[in-house]
Amino acid sequence: MENVLRIEKILDFCDVPQLFVARDAFDTLYLCLLYEDELLCRYTGIRISARRLEDFLSGGIDLRSLFIHPENKHEYFDVVFQTGQYQHERLMEKSLPEDKLPAEGYILSGDMRENVVINLPVKDRGLLAELVRKFGWACM
């Protein structure tokens, strides 16, 4: 399905993914931010280039700026987790209401990441490699 997103990296998690990077069937990157988690998890999504995503991941730009000024002007997506998939649909809004925007000053930096050491039997290393890839963790 063309409107299905697959999570590539979870950037913030509390009970459910709060902020994540995903790709569609055409390998386009999306940055998705949770705005509702009552009945269904609903996210606001924007398309994002690898360069701009790296700027955010390195702490060079804040999250609010990304959502107020997406690279594709006035292009926002509603992303819903249902039937075990993240599905997206283009919104017709030219700007986002305040309740769908992140707070000012949210910067993601490498200092916020935890370091965890895991000792695994050799037979489980393939599983760990898949988790590392999916969650964007770094192996030391």
Q: Is 64 exposed, middle or buried (0-12, 13-18, 19+ CB in 10 A)?
A: middle
* Per-residue confidence in pLDDT tens, the chain, 140 aa: 579 999 999 999 988 999 999 999 999 999 999 999 988 999 999 999 999 999 999 899 999 999 999 999 989 999 999 989 999 999 988 889 998 999 888 887 654 445 556 666 777 777 777 777 777 665 54
Kindly list the distances between the CA atom of residue 28 and the CA atoms of 47, 71, 127, in Å, as whole numbers in the listed order: 7, 13, 26
